[in-house]
A and B are shown apart, each in its own frame.
Chain A
Amino acid sequence: MKYHIQKKFTIILLFISISVFSQNYTISGYVQEESNGENLIGVSVFDKSSNKGTSTNQYGFYSITLPKGKYEILYSFIGLKTIEKSINLEENTRINVSLKENATLINEIEITEEGLDKNVEKTSMSQVKLKIQNIKSIPAILGEVDVLKAAQLLPGISGGGEGSAGLYVRGGGPDQNLVLLDEAIVYNAAHLFGFFSVFNADAIKDINIIKGGMPAEYGGRLSSVLDITMKDGNNKEYQADGGIGLLSSRMTLQGPVQKNKSSFIISGRRTYIDVLSQPFLNKKDEETGEPNPFSGSGYYFYDLTTKINYRISDKDRLFLSGYFGRDVFSFADSESGFGIEIPWGNATTSLRWNHLFNDKLFMNTSAIFTDYRFEFNIEQSDFELKIFSGINDWNHKTDFLYIPNQNHEIKFGYNFTYHVFTPGNATGKSGEVDFSPDEIYKQYSNEGAIYISDDIEINEQFKINIGLRYSSFQHSGDINPVRFLKNEIKLDTNNHYRHIEPRLALRYRLDPSSSIKASYSQNYQYVHLASTGAVSLPTDLWVPSSAIVNPKFSTQYATGYFKNFKDNMYETSLELYYKEMENLIEYKEGILPEDNTNTSSDDAFAFGNGESYGMEILLKKNQGKTTGWIGYTLSKTTRYFDEINEGTPYPAKYDRRHDISITGTHKLTDSWDLSTVFVYATGNSITLPSERYIIDGNIYTEFTSRNGYRMIPYHRLDIGATYTPNKKKNKKFKSSWNFSIYNVYNRKNPYFIYLGLEDNIENENGSIQDGNLTPKAYQVSIFPILPSITWNFKF
């Protein structure tokens, strides 16, 4: 069946290549924001009379090919003034455009599909662009603006639980999301054990979220793409932005290196939990005068984002961007001499070159380095133990965009990644004896892909996006056979996976403001996150596919109805999806990660399948003083593992039957903007013990039904207000105050449930032998009503 489909795709692609070109000319160029020179992504560029057009790509480039003639070309971007250019098209023409800020639209919240009826017109579905200024206007926990938490408000995307920045998209796990920051993969996108994302909103320009129907240029993950583009930096003038919040402060500097030609941006953020907590930790005991034994304990995180770009010519641009973030948790008990330190974090570097071969062919080629590492250091007396894991990627990719005429938009390219996995190593020292292994255990892999896709406008009604991705994965380097002693399967370098991943999206336009769409996609994923926790922890391991661990595989079908009202003031959509997932991995029951320290983790895994289906409804109001959206998801996600839950199906831990989010902003006056968020979700499914027994006189519990208990529903209301004094005055220094209240009605949402045995008689130590214990269950909630204030400034 698969080969049959592939054959059909090949025939269609051949059809594309023989399309006939008439006497057409091309208008192309870059669109940027006038105030700061930032390239604009997703600007609608279209002919006013025929309404035919395109939109700018990730680098602000557009290309539109039309027959010889006179045209009124509109450049439209929500929040900026639309520009109209009169063109007498007699030859290929280069037009670079700068769009000005539209003061009347500033601060309106929007999630936009790029322009007038763009969401209805384009073939892609299950995609949303979030604008950073909109994310900043949403109320946030402790005032910390968070792109991942904003994404959770969209239908089909849920978080891991109270306060979590995790993303679970259409029943997929957290490792099934391709998180890209300027094209570099970010393996762990969370600070503070999952409470906040690693992305500093001040340095981000654009966020593109793909929940399904993944275009062929993306791959390597089953469920979603979160493609984040960093700002390029103001190439007109120097600028400083900053903010002081309850949890962290941040500062961004940007400006021209060479005016209109080169610019830079550098943005940093750091928490001060450690600084604020030190007076308490350093406080001496009032009775004994002894210093606090935990005075060396603390936690902080920081991140630094930087980018520099250079316009070599009108056809060539260079971008160098980097991210470096670390979390550091330390715990010290001076009495016992016990101490631990846990540093972890990501580092990425991307060097990119944009080249315009001609008005129809655009290229971006990138060299990318990604590093994620985690360490766990323990020290007590003369005993030292260090556990560490990580992943390094050396990535090269080139993407081409070829627009031969207005009926085709062809993308093709390749992507190669050399992975170095350090899945779980430990070194130890006790006195003079060193337990370090002779060599650090590593695994090396090559992952590659080539792809081609075409967005074909067949006629006014039909548009089709057809794509093929060919991916491969192979190990390289020596493999230590000791790792496979248990089942005597050796991994060799000939273990080579190759797969074809077809992608298809269709649009049938019912009228100018409504359409029906459908998509089909197959995805393979060759790297896997092995997690023992119910929340994403830095201890989770990334492991490659092997002879034992097969690549994950998913097939997703989706269809939807899209309708806009009142000249795009209201956008609505209804999508249905069904997703099958194979070769999912979990740790076997009873396995501990340290079982495989300094060896392969492969024998520790159980393998199974998953299924998710659901309905997503989105209602948006894009214009006016009051804007926002309502999202509703009805879904079911199930897992099937032979070795888990005695082989019977069980709900995924992020299975949610109902998920509702309402987000809105209202422009009260020129100085005051109000915002609100309400969310309701079915409670998370968790596993609780059902029975107990006695070993060695102590009680042990037995868990029989995986995720068999559901916590109470989650809901909360947040409100926020932003005060911008003297907004209209043309002052160099501008500032604003953001006030927000998280969980206004103080809902005690469950964060986790734990069970315990307590004494029947107060103040007496109970024991099972004495027969005076009572089993009890407790629900812990962590975020009650939380007001916060943040001061933001710019000069």
Chain B
Amino acid sequence: MKRYFLYFLTISVLFSCRKEISIDFPLVPEKLVVQGAIEPRFPPYIILTRNQGYFETIDNSTYNNLFVSDAQIIVFKLDGNETIDSIELSQEFDTIPIYTNLGCPEDFSQEGYRYNLQIKWNNNIITSTTTIPHSTPLDSIWIEETESTQDNQYKCDINARYSDPDTIGNNILIRSKRVEHWKIDTLTTPPTLTNEKDNSLLLVDCGPDILANGESFETYFPRPSEQGGFPSGSYRTFKYKKYQDTTTIGQDSILIPEDLVLIKFCQVDLAAMKFWRGVVRNSTSGGNPFSEPMNLVSNINGGLGSWTGYGTRYYLVPILKENVITEEYYPNILDIF
């Protein structure tokens, strides 16, 4: 909301000017940043990084050094207050700095259970707790052409109908990624197609169900950007692209397939909702100098970040106009990162 006040102030104050200033801050203590998740059918998976002072430089070496690989992690499964199971996590992949346990039994992560996280690092113990809420599926998903004044008929939106249970607290979180997004390389002859898919499931939105409680309603899922910011993009259905200056379709054109999108529709608990809603808010209105400073509300004791239990439903959505999807999709572990 206040983003628009900022727009207004920026526009209305015609004479404003800015100048770069230098600010000195004291050194900040080192903290562990946790981005951990647990969802049914999959082992818990966690990325650990360090914090930085705001004005520390960012270059390739400092970025790579942010990842933490020397932590010891245990996840406890609780039924009520009683621990009924536990597993240790370690870095299972050489290329991805993720802690997980590929040998974890499938029934370790279940809806309705609480999971405690314990991390030992630098002689500190960092803890957190989360719950995997019961999930509610979407009624249906369908594709429609994006409403636009421009002539981009291949641009489409993902629409959905959702019936919210009549209980407050079904906090919603949505992620999506294009598992297929084809681009043409016209420098080769004949041109080739490359899949420039999204690298990870990107956050679309997160929030409480206060306004929608008990309602059945239509919504749409805009495409998020890997650079963050307000998710407002659309998807692309198939199209023919001419690559030579002739008019005969078929011989001098190439078919660019439609996007294939993985939707992760989840319920999360209150603590997780507050954290991820803050992430959304930060990316959509971050930098508003008139708002009170807002830290992300972490549920990590002794650190930053979030340990989130997801009650998940997945949908694999080919972007084909009028296509209606009601079936869920069951991804493999590499799909969910």
| Chain A residues proximal to chain B, CB less than 8 Å | 192-193, 273, 299, 329, 331, 334-335, 337, 340, 342, 376, 381, 387, 426, 428, 430-431, 433, 435, 482, 485, 532-535, 537, 539, 587, 589-590, 592, 595, 597-599, 687-698, 700-704, 706, 709, 748, 751-757, 765, 767-784, 786
Near A by CB (< 8 A), chain B positions 7-63 give: 7-9, 12-13, 15-23, 25-26, 28, 31, 33, 35, 49-63
Cβ distance A500 to chain B, nearest Cβ, rounded Å: 35
Tell me whether B52 and A537 are in contact (CB under 8 A).
Answer: no
Q: Which of B55, B147, B212 contacts A381 (CB 8 A)?
A: B147
Tell me whether B52 and A691 are in contact (CB under 8 A).
Answer: yes
Tell me whether B23 and A782 are in contact (CB under 8 A).
Answer: no
Number of residues of chain B lying within 8 A (CB) of chain A:
81
How distant is the Cα of A187 from the Cα of B279 in the complex, in angstroms? 33
Tell me whether B33 and A482 are in contact (CB under 8 A).
Answer: no
Near A by CB (< 8 A), chain B positions 163-190 give: 168
Tell me whether A533 and B292 are in contact (CB under 8 A).
Answer: yes
Cβ distance A748 to chain B, nearest Cβ, rounded Å: 7
Q: Which of A376, A533, A692, A704 contacts B52 (CB 8 A)?
A: A692
How distant is the Cα of A772 from the Cα of B203 in the complex, in angstroms? 24
Cβ distance A602 to chain B, nearest Cβ, rounded Å: 15
Near A by CB (< 8 A), chain B positions 195-245 give: 199-200, 202-203, 208, 210-212, 215-219, 226-228
What residues on A are CB-neighbors of B96 within 8 Å? Answer: none
Tell me whether B278 and A590 are in contact (CB under 8 A).
Answer: yes
Tell me whether A709 and B23 are in contact in the complex, defined as CB-CB below 8 angstroms, given that A690-B28, A693-B52, A784-B15 are known contacts: yes
13 pairs, A vs B, C-beta closer than 8 Å? A193-B5, A482-B168, A485-B168, A590-B295, A597-B211, A692-B54, A694-B33, A702-B304, A703-B294, A748-B17, A753-B21, A754-B287, A770-B60
Tell me whether A435 and B305 are in contact (CB under 8 A).
Answer: no
Tell me whether B210 and A598 are in contact (CB under 8 A).
Answer: yes
Q: Is B72 an interface residue (CB 8 A)?
A: no
What residues on A are CB-neighbors of B334 within 8 Å? Answer: none
Cβ distance A205 to chain B, nearest Cβ, rounded Å: 32
Tell me whether A691 and B51 are in contact (CB under 8 A).
Answer: yes
Tell me whether B63 and A780 are in contact (CB under 8 A).
Answer: no
Tell me whether A752 and B297 are in contact (CB under 8 A).
Answer: no
Cβ distance A56 to chain B, nearest Cβ, rounded Å: 43
Given contacts A771-B59, A781-B17, A783-B13, 10 further A-B contacts (CB under 8 A): A193-B9, A433-B217, A690-B28, A692-B53, A694-B33, A696-B279, A698-B283, A748-B19, A753-B289, A780-B16
Q: Is B77 an interface residue (CB 8 A)?
A: no
How distant is the Cα of A757 from the Cα of B55 in the complex, in angstroms? 10
What residues on A are CB-neighbors of B4 within 8 Å? Answer: 331, 340, 342
Q: Which of A534, A700, A770 contacts B289 (CB 8 A)?
A: A534
How distant is the Cα of A589 from the Cα of B200 in the complex, in angstroms? 30
Q: Is B134 an interface residue (CB 8 A)?
A: no
Closest to B26 in A: A690
Tell me whether A335 and B149 are in contact (CB under 8 A).
Answer: yes
Closest to A589 in B: B295
What residues on A are CB-neighbors of B17 within 8 Å? Answer: 748, 780-781, 784
How distant is the Cα of A539 from the Cα of B290 in the complex, in angstroms? 12
Tell me whether B63 and A775 are in contact (CB under 8 A).
Answer: no
What residues on B are CB-neighbors of A428 within 8 Å? Answer: 211
What residues on B are CB-neighbors of A532 within 8 Å? Answer: 291-292
What residues on B are CB-neighbors of A433 within 8 Å? Answer: 215-218
A-B contact count (CB 8 A): 203
Cβ distance A166 to chain B, nearest Cβ, rounded Å: 13
Q: Is B274 an interface residue (CB 8 A)?
A: yes
Tell me whether B66 and A694 are in contact (CB under 8 A).
Answer: yes
How distant is the Cα of A342 from the Cα of B289 in the complex, in angstroms? 20
Closest to A586 in B: B292
What residues on B are CB-neighbors of A781 within 8 Å? Answer: 16-19
How distant is the Cα of A310 from the Cα of B274 in the complex, in angstroms? 59
Tell me whether A691 and B49 are in contact (CB under 8 A).
Answer: no
Tell me whether A777 and B202 are in contact (CB under 8 A).
Answer: no
What residues on A are CB-neighbors of B306 within 8 Å? Answer: 695
What residues on A are CB-neighbors of B321 within 8 Å? Answer: none
Tell me whether B25 and A690 are in contact (CB under 8 A).
Answer: yes
- When A and B form their complex, which 3 residue pairs have the shortest distance between CB atoms, in order from nearest? A771-B60, A752-B289, A703-B293
Closest to B49 in A: A694
Tell me whether A691 and B28 are in contact in the complex, defined as CB-CB below 8 angstroms, given that A534-B292, A698-B283, A770-B60 are known contacts: yes
Q: Is B282 an interface residue (CB 8 A)?
A: yes
Closest to A532 in B: B292
What residues on A are CB-neighbors of B218 within 8 Å? Answer: 430-431, 433
Q: Is B2 an interface residue (CB 8 A)?
A: yes
How distant is the Cα of A337 from the Cα of B9 in the complex, in angstroms? 22
What residues on A are CB-neighbors of B31 within 8 Å? Answer: 691, 693
Tell me whether A774 and B200 are in contact (CB under 8 A).
Answer: no
What residues on A are CB-neighbors of B12 within 8 Å? Answer: 192, 273, 299
Tell me whether A539 and B1 are in contact in the complex, defined as CB-CB below 8 angstroms, given that A774-B58, A784-B17 are known contacts: yes
What residues on A are CB-neighbors of B50 within 8 Å? Answer: 693
What residues on A are CB-neighbors of B16 within 8 Å? Answer: 751, 780-782
Cβ distance A357 to chain B, nearest Cβ, rounded Å: 52
Tell me whether A777 and B304 are in contact (CB under 8 A).
Answer: no
Closest to A592 in B: B281
Q: Which of A335, A337, A701, A774 contacts B57 (CB 8 A)?
A: A774
